[in-house]
Structure 1
Amino acid sequence: MGSALRVTLGQHSLAGPGPVNQDFHGAMLPEGSLRTTKGIAIAIADGIGSSRVSQVASAAAVRGFLDDYYATSEAWSVRRSAQRVLGATNAWLHAQTLRSDARFDRDSGYVCTFSALVLKGRDVHLLHVGDARIYRLHPQALEQLTEDHRVHLSSVESYLSRALGAGPNVEIDYRCWEAEVGEVYLLATDGAWTGLDARAVHHALARCGDDLDEAARLLTSNARSGDDRTVQLLRIDELPAADAAQLQSQRQALAIPPALAPRARFEGFTLVRELQVSARSHVHLALDDARGHPVVLKLPSVDLRDDPDYLDRFVLEEWVARRVDSPHVVKAGTIERVRGHLFVAMEYVDGQTLAQWMVDHHRPSLDSVRSIVEQLAKGLQALHGKEMLHQDIRPENVMIDRAGTVKIIDLASTHVAGLADSSRDRRALAIAGTLQYTAPEYFIGQGGSIRSDLFSLAVIVYQMLTRQLPYGLQASRVRSAADAKRLRYVPLRHFRPDLPAWVDAVLQKALHPDPARRQQAVSEFAHDLKAPGPEFLRPRNSPLAERHPVRFWQCATALLGVVTVVLLGLLVAGK
């Protein structure tokens, strides 16, 4: 028995008579430490025939799984990693349906079946939803390892009872067993497995030898179906030594790092200095010994080492960073070696925080603020496009590098739709961010949305321009819907009368206590700040207190004085 994991893979897809192939398949066969820590993965998906966007769904499901699974923490098991990735993918697909014309027709949405095998160490892990199938080949039979999630109404009418994207949450079948050298597994969509038997598979393997791609092509060509047909073949050629796999399976989680000091060596890094120390984590600047590149290392708090929920949220940050590809969101560090401890490695941004920028720019121009907002909006769009909310947008969590590029950092509070069991998880219910930047809906239990991140962004814009908060500290004291309605926005022009009135109108809309009254997306807010529409440019009948606050208070004081004199006169006359 060797000490490496080796397989032979073959795959082929053949389109039916339709205009597009609604099937999609893919595989990842990484080398080095990634094959040890995450294994080998193959996946197949089939879009529903009644949908014009089903091929988009199947491609997104396979690509998303293969990309995101390998970005998950090494501290997570295969099951946890795969199910969390698929939960997030399902939430994204369902959200695309809700944003399209298909929201009224479940048969026209972003829906697909999904089946995958992950081979890690000496174990095979199966993930499945829908009616594609996974088989294990025997000399005289094909053993079906998956269950068809399809309800048959009659001999000609049926429907999928479970699929990715069909609802806000999805139940994924999971199985795990020990692999054996020489085993052959077959994944097939319904167009390919119809009429398929062990004899046909053995014939294809005998005819094609080690060319499993050709064997898969032969099986799809011979399938008795007019539908799209896709087949994947996986043969296990070599497995790692049993003792190494046992050690791997015994490790439930990576070790909690010890306390570290500058110049300490840790996991192939040399620590330079502390960047931030809090009760939740310790953040260090370090150098990668192999590459010489700076990297930010975030270590969990020793005091919270026994809190599994905290550790789950901690490792989520690096995965979130790997899921998002934007120059305006901090990237995860590149580490190719096997880890022994639990930590998060992130890109080092050489620059200053937005909080420091605000100290250096007491009265910034509207153009300079707009430049920052446009970049922040693009970063938030990248998160929102993956059905994620940052939830802690504040000046300390925004970096501006020496080239002027704005980056969102600290993804520890990010909410990812679909990761929890409850269907309510599509909305972030917990208050995760800093109170003065948190939208009112969080305080009254309504949950957050992309408009909540928009509110936080608008607070920052208001603060950049005025060095004040739009509601003072009132917003953080909201505890009911009635409290939210009593919030009174302080007009921007009280502090910056030099700015156009329409800027105030744009900000007031983005900061409305009712999220439904705000702009629909951060991109719309950024556009309004650059090219305001008619609703912001029309003259506003602002009260005197907004247009001329000094004159208003002068008049109010004078009126109060007159009333006081009159009352005193009446009082004296009455005596």
Structure 2
Amino acid sequence: MLHSQTQKSEHRFDKNKGYVCTLSAVIIKSTTAYLFHLGDSRIYHIRNGSPQQLTEDHRTWVSSEQSYLSRAMGIFPQLELDYSSLAIEIDDVFILATDGVYEHVPMDILQAFIQENLDDLHSAAKLIGDYAYSNGSTDNLSVQIVRVDSLPSQDAQERIQQLTELPFPPALAIRADFDGFKILRNIHSTSRSRVYLAEEIQQGVGKPVVIKTLSVDLQDDAASVERFLLEEWIAKRINSAHVMKPCIQTRKRDYLYTAFEFIEGQTLTQWMVDNPKPSLQAVREIVGQIAKGLQAFHRLEMIHQDLRPENIMIDNSGVVKIIDFGSTKVAGLMEMTSPIAQQNILGTAQYTAPEYFLGEVGAPRSDLFSLAVITYQMLTGKLPFGAEVAKTRTKSAQDKLRYRTALHDDREIPAWVDDTLKKALQPNPLKRYQELSEFVFDLSQPSQSFLSKNKPPLLERDPVKFWQGISAILVVIILFLLSHKST
């Protein structure tokens, strides 16, 4: 964003007014620090009292008193960042500072300020800035101090104990009282979990909720328990009208379970049964709401990975909500060094993006593919590739996949909608739409690319110009023949 603003500025060619910016960033995920650097700001790392400069100044010195930036945002059209990574430990300290600070504060004094204010790093940073200013600095004074206080557990047994500290509930009977809820009925049961409709009893007012419990057979399966609890963790972090919300509880739980809002309505699967030939507008409305829900995931660097009609609810007021987050991939958690296995959980094969079958990591374009399959199914009652995608485990096999047109005599589907679906359902993710918003937009009107490649001939668009052009060509030919004959 900063680089783009620089390149668009009216002063970008004026050395006195142009925007030039340095950038030093530390991103910490799990037990690794990722460093990105450009310019002459610096990143220091202190471990066990030993400081180390992790970045290189992009500055060229003409003399002992004169220098200039050799690389920074805004100097060149391209953006070249230095990149490195570092395994971190507890009590590691990172210092990010501009030249206005580090050129006027010796490292031993900088360390002393930090050591004396370990419990108040904000005060340490202010003292460092004040010292640089009093020592004659007239430049920008920016300093940030980061200390690593804790890291993810490295012990698998400890992790399992944290996840399973609550007992697993038994199978719950109808009308049974359970942890402040009254069980009303069984909604869904599998060998792995049970889902119940319950009533939350609070001050005599009952609120319907959905209770989900895990099978006791999985109590020693740490990965399954972790994925189970992750569903509620994800729901608490997504704020969207089109994503199922968790039930916020203030009281302490006595068992291991999750609680979500009860959505009174029907699944998209049932909706398609009830509406075998829906209007294009009805499909657009549903797809648009699903896309908004997915965008809420993607903004938080989450990929749903199991989008299918059974995991989409339409409530009685027509609001569409995405449910079931058991397969969701969360950026950052994938980098955890815990021995608990983290696998890419594939959804139902017919709706799963082809790249998953090649062992590739999912991306927002993978969810877009699943949404396009659902859109195709709503419009045609069929699947674009049938069950063929799951059988293709190589790039060459996927290159042979052939999209089945959505155009049929018994369905009124415009050709440009078929073209939109074809692009969204490309087996190669790089050839699909890059954004969900682009796909939804092109479902509403013909895209420019479609109009360009399906442009009618001049004879149909403007017959007068066509025949004028033909006449002009004939006149040129006649004149040429006459001049050739006279010679």
Q: CA deviation at 1:377?
A: 1.0
Residues 312-331 of structure 1 aligned to structure 2 (within 5 Å): 312-331=226-245
1:14 corresponds in structure 2 to none
Following the alignment from structure 2 to structure 1, what is the Cα–Cα distance between the partners of residues 363 and 278?
A: 30
1:270 corresponds in structure 2 to 182
Q: CA deviation at 1:349?
A: 2.0
Structure 2 residue runs of 5 or longer lacking an equivalent are 1-20, 61-80, 134-139, 148-159, 456-487
Following the alignment from structure 1 to structure 2, what is the Cα–Cα distance between the partners of residues 432 and 323?
A: 22
Contact 2:231 2:326 in 1 (8 A): yes
Deviations 1:38-67 (A, max 9, x none): xxxxxxxxxxx822xx7xx78xx8xxxxxx
1:151 corresponds in structure 2 to 54
Following the alignment from structure 1 to structure 2, what is the Cα–Cα distance between the partners of residues 294 and 460?
A: 29
1:482 corresponds in structure 2 to 396
Contact 1:391 1:414 in 2 (8 A): yes
Deviations 1:446-479 (A, max 9, x none): 3322211111100000111111111122222222
1:224 corresponds in structure 2 to 132
Describe the shift of the 1:341–1:491 C-alpha distance in structure 2 as closer, same or farther (beyond 3 A): same
Contact 2:420 2:442 in 1 (8 A): yes
User: Sequence identity of aligned pairs in percent?
Assistant: 41
Q: Which amino acid aligns with 2:132?
A: R
The alignment status of 1:50 with 2:11, answered yes or no, reads no
Following the alignment from structure 1 to structure 2, what is the Cα–Cα distance between the partners of residues 299 and 464?
A: 32
Q: CA deviation at 1:187?
A: 11
Q: CA deviation at 1:294?
A: 2.5
Q: CA deviation at 1:409?
A: 0.8
Following the alignment from structure 2 to structure 1, what is the Cα–Cα distance between the partners of residues 320 and 365?
A: 21
Following the alignment from structure 2 to structure 1, what is the Cα–Cα distance between the partners of residues 84 and 207?
A: 41
Contact 1:200 1:219 in 2 (8 A): no
1:569 corresponds in structure 2 to none
1:281 to 193, 199, 213: 193
Contact 1:441 1:515 in 2 (8 A): yes
Following the alignment from structure 2 to structure 1, what is the Cα–Cα distance between the partners of residues 363 and 146?
A: 39
Deviations 1:68-121 (A, max 9, x none): xxxxxxxxxxxxxx965x88xx89xx9xxxxxxxxxxx4259xx99xxxxxxxx
2:442 to 517, 528, 535: 528
2:424 corresponds in structure 1 to 510
Q: CA deviation at 1:404?
A: 1.6
1:257 to 149, 168, 173: 168
Q: Which has the larger radius of gyration?
A: 2
2:298 to 379, 384, 401: 384
1:25 corresponds in structure 2 to none
Q: Which amino acid aligns with 2:197?
A: L
Describe the shift of the 1:530–1:148 C-alpha distance in structure 2 as closer, same or farther (beyond 3 A): farther
Q: How many residues align?
A: 380
Deviations 1:251-306 (A, max 9, x none): 66322422222222333322222221112221222233337433222212211111
1:493 corresponds in structure 2 to 407
1:336 corresponds in structure 2 to 250
1:173 corresponds in structure 2 to 89
TM-score by length of 2: 0.66
Determine helix, strand or coil for the equivalent of 1:494: coil
Describe the shift of the 1:153–1:415 C-alpha distance in structure 2 as closer, same or farther (beyond 3 A): closer
Q: Which amino acid aligns with 2:437?
A: S
Structure 1 residue runs of 5 or longer lacking an equivalent are 1-48, 62-81, 95-105, 114-129, 134-143, 158-164, 177-185, 206-211, 234-248, 542-575
Describe the shift of the 1:318–1:146 C-alpha distance in structure 2 as closer, same or farther (beyond 3 A): farther
Residues 37-436 of structure 1 aligned to structure 2 (within 5 Å): 50-51=22-23, 106-108=36-38, 131=44, 150-151=53-54, 171-174=87-90, 195=109, 219=127, 222-224=130-132, 227-229=141-143, 253-259=164-170, 260-290=172-202, 292-421=206-335, 430-436=344-350
Contact 1:255 1:340 in 2 (8 A): yes
Describe the shift of the 1:215–1:328 C-alpha distance in structure 2 as closer, same or farther (beyond 3 A): same
Describe the shift of the 1:285–1:441 C-alpha distance in structure 2 as closer, same or farther (beyond 3 A): same
TM-score by length of 1: 0.57
Following the alignment from structure 2 to structure 1, what is the Cα–Cα distance between the partners of residues 83 and 214?
A: 35
Q: CA deviation at 1:326?
A: 1.7
Q: CA deviation at 1:222?
A: 4.0
Residues 430-445 of structure 1 aligned to structure 2 (within 5 Å): 430-445=344-359
Following the alignment from structure 1 to structure 2, what is the Cα–Cα distance between the partners of residues 265 and 168?
A: 55
Contact 2:236 2:245 in 1 (8 A): yes
Contact 2:385 2:404 in 1 (8 A): yes
Contact 1:466 1:495 in 2 (8 A): no
Deviations 1:520-556 (A, max 9, x none): 1211111111132122235659xxxxxxxxxxxxxxx
Determine helix, strand or coil for the equivalent of 1:311: helix
Contact 2:283 2:375 in 1 (8 A): yes
Contact 2:169 2:256 in 1 (8 A): no
Following the alignment from structure 1 to structure 2, what is the Cα–Cα distance between the partners of residues 375 and 343?
A: 29
Q: Which structure's relative contact order is higher, taking Cα pairs within 8 Å and 6+ residues apart?
A: 1
Deviations 1:16-53 (A, max 9, x none): xxxxxxxxxxxxxxxxxxxxxxxxxxxxxxxxx822xx
Contact 1:288 1:295 in 2 (8 A): yes
Describe the shift of the 1:285–1:353 C-alpha distance in structure 2 as closer, same or farther (beyond 3 A): same
Describe the shift of the 1:377–1:171 C-alpha distance in structure 2 as closer, same or farther (beyond 3 A): farther
Q: CA deviation at 1:489?
A: 1.6
Q: Which amino acid aligns with 2:322?
A: I
Determine helix, strand or coil for the equivalent of 1:293: strand
Determine helix, strand or coil for the equivalent of 1:282: strand
Following the alignment from structure 1 to structure 2, what is the Cα–Cα distance between the partners of residues 148 and 345?
A: 48
Determine helix, strand or coil for the equivalent of 2:90: strand
Contact 2:242 2:320 in 1 (8 A): yes
